[in-house]
Structure 1
Amino acid sequence: MTLKKLTILPTGTEILLPVGSPLTEVEYETPQRLIPFGCRSGSCGACVVQVLEGFSSLGEPDDDELDFLEDLGRTGGDHRLACQCRLRGDATVRVADDI
Structure 2
Amino acid sequence: MTLKKLTVLPTGTEILLPAGSPLTEVEYETPERLIPFGCRSGSCGACVIEVLEGSGHLGEPDPDELDFLEDLGRTGGSHRLACQCRLRGDATVRVADDI
> Equivalences for 1:12-31 in 2 at 5 Å?
12-31=12-31
**Structure 1 counterpart of 2:73, one-letter code:** G
Tell me which stretches of 4 or more aligned residues in structure 1 moved more than 4 Å: none
2:68 matches 1:75: no
Q: Give the Å deviation of 1:12.
A: 0.2
Residues of 2 paired with 1:77 and 1:45: CA distance? 16
The CA distance in 1 between the partners of 2:81 and 2:4, in whole Å, is: 19
TM-score of the superposed pair, with normalisation by structure 1 = 1.00
**Unpaired runs of at least 5, structure 2:** none
2:84 counterpart residue number: 84
Q: Deviations over 1:60-99 (max 9, x none)?
A: 0000000000000000000000000000000000000000
Structure 1 unaligned spans of 5+: none
Q: Which amino acid in 1 is paired with 2:68?
A: F
Separation (CA, whole Å) in 1 of partners of 2:12 and 2:62:
28
Q: Secondary structure at the match of 1:16?
A: strand
**Distance in 1 separating the partners of 2:24 and 2:70:** 22
Find the aligned partners of 1:79 and 1:53 in 2 and give their Cα distance.
Answer: 11
Q: Distance in 2 between matches of 1:26 and 1:77?
A: 22
Structure 1 residues 22-46: Cα deviation after superposition (integer angstroms, max 9, x where no partner): 0000000000000000000000000
Q: With the length of structure 2 as denominator, give the TM-score of the two structures.
A: 1.00
Counterpart check, 1:4 vs 2:4:
yes
Q: What is the root-mean-square deviation in Å for CA atoms of aligned residues?
A: 0.2
